Structure 1
Amino acid sequence: MSSKRITTIGVVFGGRSVEHDVSIVTGQQVMRAFDKERFEVVPIYIDRDGKWFTGDALRDLKSFEKPVHTLDGVQEVILSPNTNHHGLIVNPLPSGLFGKSQIKRLDVIFAALHGTHGEDGTIQGLCELADIAYTGCGVLASALANDKIVSKVVLRQHGIPVLDAVSLSRAEWEEAPDRAVAHLLAVLKFPVFVKPATLGSSIGVARADDETMLRRNIDIASSFDRRVLVEAAFTGGVEINCAVLGGDHDIEASVLEQPITWEEFLSFEAKYLQGGEGMKSAERIIPAPLTEAMTQEIQEIAVRAFQAIDGHGTARIDFLVKPDTGEIFLNEINTMPGSLAFYLWQEKNMTAADVVEKLVKVAQAAQAEKRRNTYNYQTSLVSLTAARGLKGVKGTKRSASTE
């Protein structure tokens, strides 16, 4: 019998996001991928109201057809930010004479949360406070990639080609819609795509071919996010996707894929509601039918882009390409892709188990690197302030002449 220590993985999925259901599917796929002889997998489900739960029943998709708190063995939990706990507090609000809380220690948090609070740096920040290793990008990279407006600025600065676009806020749109449209049309020509700044899975994204459609689509997008991106449509080309895996200077690019339904725009329903298998069920060509030179160029840009945002773990990077002219534009960086793009690694003889194990190793390496940082800096400020009093914090006294 092997004496090798089993690593405890907390797989977090669900969440307060419009991509809640997508996250449940990804979470189930991740839990099934782990080698149960080497990893203890703890399901951690966040419901739509933000309550956290754990229990074996959460390993079954059918369990989510009814409120999970009614399921046998399911308990409420919280991820403790107390670094002494290093994990979950099970039954954080005990009731009854014999009720009590327990600590479930975790080695790694495997984030399988999509959209708001999942791939925007929020859950990553909580893991940082808890001092627990976590898979995927860090706070900064997650927030950057999740913001379609800011990410364009960063990518341009790193010489990575992106499409022209204009951004506006919900307040600007509600206060002066005619002025906003005039500004947009002075910069861009139809057709355009209207996108909420910080959502994925194509939610709230729509094409506009005229001003009427533009106004309607901005109304829709601004209901999902306070900031909206209006981007030049890419016509006469194809979408090409590339996954990346790793961190720092050890990042590998996957085989490329071409979704063949892209010309009609791959909506949320097309991605996730056709057979219930997530992105795997979408029609695609793997490997993408491109020249070796263009394939290599896209893979190199994908790695550069991931490094530009200081990415770790995995991402699926979506490109818009014209094979006949050689034009390549980076469309989006998805740091929490549906199904974690498992299917793109199969061509490199990597199983889903290989991918999740690699992500855990990258997470542990990133955590070890962070622990090399100095977080304590001893000074005498508190003792000196205590001795002298807090006079300085009251601000500068105003002279009589200024009153």
Structure 2
Amino acid sequence: MADRTRVAVIFGGCSPEHDVSVVSGLQALRALDGERFEGFPVYIAADGEWLAGKELAERATYIPDAATRAKLQRVSVPVTPPGGRPVLRPAGGGLLSRPRDIPFDVALPVLHGGGGEDGRLQGFLDVVGVPYTGMRPMASAVLMDKIATKRLLASAGIPLLPFVELKRPGTGLLLPRAVLAEAVERIGLPCIVKPVHLGSSIGVARITAVEELEAVLPAIFRLDSAAMLEPFVPNLVEYNVSVCALGGRLRTSAIERPKRAEELLDFKQKYLSGGGKGGGGKTPGAAASEGMLSLTRDINPDLPGNLETRIRDAATAAFTLLGGSGAPRIDFLSNGETGEVWLNEANPCPGSLGYFLWEAAEEPILFTQLLTLLVEEAVTLQQAAQLPADPVPSDARLFRRP
């Protein structure tokens, strides 16, 4: 057991999706293969502080109060020297009494939303030389920007809804009524407004009048720098599918059709419905209702015509175009009567890592196996990205080498 790979499971973060990330991170921590990996929690508090400590492995700890924080270690991640092993460096102590570094081998980020899913954390880990699971910085950044996603994927002929971007004003949270009226005229009513950089359906609203748009935009602009208008899809049905190239082979998961009590799947429906306890299995049948916090869904529903093929083809095309890694979830909107389907958005790090979709795939991948494949991919990608100790070619060197 001494040679197990140490995996730092990182979750929390400075994002409106902080709490969902905690749930997903604890699920992943529990599901790691204990024979091969020694997982431990690294919690990024909402104020940006990085914390480590055994107490963070328990759900009852959250959100840590001052007394609990006093038991935890504040940590940072220094640059890993060539050929060295990554560490977390505890804060505090003097020259002779500095706490010991906490060594690990791979980071498993399970952060949702800004600062963790949008490429910034991934870029930081690249800079400090830490292997990490999931998508790389460019793909993460593009997919967490719904407008950038549309602009890039349009080049591949992937079906997408038209949109209008509304940027947060330089001062205040209100845009002129004339600007809103023009945007609504271009898209038509009813329409959908959503934040450009947030997930989990936060801030999404159905609009039937310019006055409604004017009323909801300030709440979006408090959390995001831009909003987006799209046409409302009648007879709306949503489909989600995950894609990966784990194990060296491109594959797609089961398809999920979320059930909905309202016309839009909002944040509470998505994460607070149900209430069962589970969290992914190491054995068949162990996956239970805590994936996406018990969202009611149909898995592998019967789909009309060639709809399934179109969904899977569009999802794999998007993944491939971005040089995909990890196991992002690609979400689609469909008109249930006409059969039209449009790629809606992609989630670089989906809630619960989308494990329930893989456990129900044609070739099932259990949650523990999924995490193992993600860690193995992280090591492979890190090795492939290594440069020579001195990456400057000899004919480009301007200074003498020691």
Q: Greater Rg, structure 1 or structure 2?
A: 1
1:282-329 Cα deviation digits (max 9, x unpaired): 111111220473212211211111112222101111101235433110
Cα distance change on mapping 1:182 and 1:65 into 2, 3 Å:
closer
Q: Please, what TM-score do these two structures have when normalized by structure 2?
A: 0.88
- CA contact under 8 A between 1:208 and 1:214: conserved in structure 2? yes
The reply on whether 1:350 has 2:365 as its aligned counterpart is yes
Residue 273 of structure 1 aligns with which residue?
A: 272
In 2: Cα distance, 1:283 partner to 1:28 partner: 21
Question: Structure 1 stretch 31-40 or stretch 287-296: which is displaced more?
Answer: 287-296
1:154-186 Cα deviation digits (max 9, x unpaired): 011111111111002112795751231132023
- Specify the code of the residue in structure 2 equivalent to 1:251: L
- CA contact under 8 A between 2:73 and 2:91: conserved in structure 1? no
- CA contact under 8 A between 1:242 and 1:253: conserved in structure 2? yes
In 1: Cα distance, 2:261 partner to 2:36 partner: 40
- CA contact under 8 A between 1:245 and 1:315: conserved in structure 2? yes
Secondary structure (helix, strand or coil) at the match of 1:201 reads coil
Residue 309 of structure 1 aligns with which residue?
A: 322
Residue 78 of structure 1 aligns with which residue?
A: 76
Count how many residue pairs are aligned between Structure 1 and Structure 2.
380
- CA contact under 8 A between 2:86 and 2:129: conserved in structure 1? no
Q: Please, what TM-score do these two structures have when normalized by structure 1?
A: 0.87
Where in structure 1 are there 5+ consecutive unaligned residues?
384-403
Cα distance change on mapping 1:323 and 1:191 into 2, 3 Å:
closer
Match of 1:360 among 329, 352, 375: 375
Residue 241 of structure 2 aligns with which residue?
A: 242
Where in structure 2 are there 5+ consecutive unaligned residues?
276-289
In 1: Cα distance, 2:201 partner to 2:349 partner: 14
- CA contact under 8 A between 2:291 and 2:352: conserved in structure 1? yes
- CA contact under 8 A between 1:87 and 1:103: conserved in structure 2? no
- CA contact under 8 A between 2:274 and 2:295: conserved in structure 1? no
Cα distance change on mapping 1:202 and 1:237 into 2, 3 Å:
closer
Match of 1:34 among 32, 35, 58: 32
Match of 1:20 among 13, 18, 21: 18
CA apart distance, 1:100:
0.9
In 2: Cα distance, 1:27 partner to 1:123 partner: 15
In 1: Cα distance, 2:168 partner to 2:225 partner: 5
- CA contact under 8 A between 2:9 and 2:108: conserved in structure 1? yes
- CA contact under 8 A between 2:14 and 2:44: conserved in structure 1? yes
- CA contact under 8 A between 2:291 and 2:354: conserved in structure 1? no
- CA contact under 8 A between 2:187 and 2:231: conserved in structure 1? yes
- CA contact under 8 A between 1:317 and 1:332: conserved in structure 2? yes
Identical residues among aligned pairs (%): 35
The reply on whether 1:56 has 2:71 as its aligned counterpart is no
Cα distance change on mapping 1:290 and 1:81 into 2, 3 Å:
same
CA apart distance, 1:263:
4.8
In 2: Cα distance, 1:10 partner to 1:68 partner: 23
Cα distance change on mapping 1:326 and 1:24 into 2, 3 Å:
same
Secondary structure (helix, strand or coil) at the match of 1:321 reads strand
In 2: Cα distance, 1:185 partner to 1:271 partner: 27
Residue 224 of structure 1 aligns with which residue?
A: 223
1:108-155 Cα deviation digits (max 9, x unpaired): 110001111011111101110121211110100000000011111001
The reply on whether 1:300 has 2:313 as its aligned counterpart is yes
In 1: Cα distance, 2:174 partner to 2:216 partner: 17
Residue 392 of structure 2 aligns with which residue?
A: 376
Cα distance change on mapping 1:122 and 1:342 into 2, 3 Å:
same
Secondary structure (helix, strand or coil) at the match of 1:302 reads helix
